[in-house]
A and B are shown apart, each in its own frame.
Chain A
Amino acid sequence: MMWFAVLAGAAGCYALKFVGSVIPAHILEQPTVKKIVLLLPISLLSALVAVQTFATSQSLVVDARVPALAAATVALRFKTPFILVVLIAAATAAALRYFGLAV
């Protein structure tokens, strides 16, 4: 039963990734479809960032992640390299938690 779940789940997840890769070029070239596909990762990834910042399972919370993302935003405005942005966010959240200032 466990193996069924593992393999069926994996097969479906691969199939989903695959489906997106075999859509014929002439459909993707159609102006409306093209515009939508260009915008899809932007809404999905932004939603993901929002959920990863404010959600803990099904509740919305403000914890150490929020000031960490705020610090990352400031860093991005100053064109800080990627790795530094990530480290600034991690250090902010870790420090706030270590000193008991946020959960």
Chain B
Amino acid sequence: MNAVLTDWNIARRQIVGNAVSIGFAVAMYGVSFGALGTTTGLTIPQTMALSLLMFTGASQFTIVSTLASGGTALTAVIASWLMGTRNAAYSMRMTPILKASGAGRLVAVQLTIDESTAMGLAQDETAFEGRASRLAFWSTGLSVYLLWNLATFIGAISVSAIGDPKSFGLDAAIAAGLFALVWPQIKSRTDLSVAFGGALIALALTPIVPPGIPVLAAALVSVIVGWATSRRLS
């Protein structure tokens, strides 16, 4: 019993530590987002509303840059929805793991993004009766939410931001972070082929379709492989 408790204390500290570092890495882009919002014609409250209410980075950058490049409000809105579609798949996967109800469920829905899902799924689903997965999701979701909004505010009020996040290698850091979280999820040959298939489809489509669609199209690989393997079993 004591050994289990000690293990859990170690695991818990590690999970929360990782969650906070993800929050800080993502927040650097929050500063860029805040600055982009207010320099392309949004007010500070509008920029903040996007981070507080929309809270899904890719959709936020898409709506702001579509408006900035002269797109209509409707085009910008639809483009942001398209970017946010993958979150629906994430909440399908996460809801049974989280077992949240009432207001907690509505908050969990809002926190369902790439980072929180990837962290939640990177844990062993059965570890500590599911507590590891749930803590990973919640701590990552909350740390990103708080730091992303704080960063948006800083970026929105002080246009001259901290400099280009790329010069700190943050673009590579975020890609590597997600990669490190996908890594433990690949447990079989099927998983591996789905990962490679998804990556290849997205890259093949990148030059020919608008941003957002390539990643979404990768879902097709899961649908086809999932359907084929479960048919073969039955």
CB within 8 Å of B: which residues of A?
1-14, 16-21, 23, 25, 28, 31-32, 34-55, 57-60, 64-65, 68-69, 72-73, 76, 81-83, 85-95, 97-98
How many A-B pairs with Cβ below 8 Å? 296
Chain B at the A interface: mostly helix, strand, loop or mixed? helix
Nearest Cβ in chain B — how far from A81, in angstroms? 8
Does B168 contact A42, Cβ atoms closer than 8 Å?
A: no
Does B215 contact A90, Cβ atoms closer than 8 Å?
A: no
Does B73 contact A1, Cβ atoms closer than 8 Å?
A: yes
Known A17-B110, A52-B175, A68-B176; judge A43-B198 contact (CB<8 A).
yes
Q: Provide the residues of chain B in CB contact with A68, threshold 8 Å.
A: 169, 172-173, 175-176
- Nearest CB to that of A25 among chain B residues? B96
Q: Provide the residues of chain A in CB contact with B207, threshold 8 Å.
A: 58-60
Q: How many residues belonging to B are interface residues under a CB distance threshold of 8 Å?
A: 100
Does A52 contact B178, Cβ atoms closer than 8 Å?
A: yes
Q: B residues 102-124 with Cβ under 8 Å of A?
A: 105-106, 108-110, 112, 114, 117-118, 121
Known A6-B50, A20-B87, A92-B169; judge A36-B226 contact (CB<8 A).
yes
Nearest Cβ in chain A — how far from B94, in angstroms? 8
Does B178 contact A6, Cβ atoms closer than 8 Å?
A: no
Nearest Cβ in chain B — how far from A17, in angstroms? 5
Does B172 contact A93, Cβ atoms closer than 8 Å?
A: yes
Known A50-B199, A52-B174; judge A13-B73 contact (CB<8 A).
no
Nearest Cβ in chain B — how far from A26, in angstroms? 12
In the bound assembly, the distance between CA atoms of A28 and B230 in angstroms comes to 14
Does B198 contact A42, Cβ atoms closer than 8 Å?
A: yes
Does B49 contact A32, Cβ atoms closer than 8 Å?
A: no
In the bound assembly, the distance between CA atoms of A68 and B53 in angstroms comes to 33
In the bound assembly, the distance between CA atoms of A31 and B116 in angstroms comes to 26
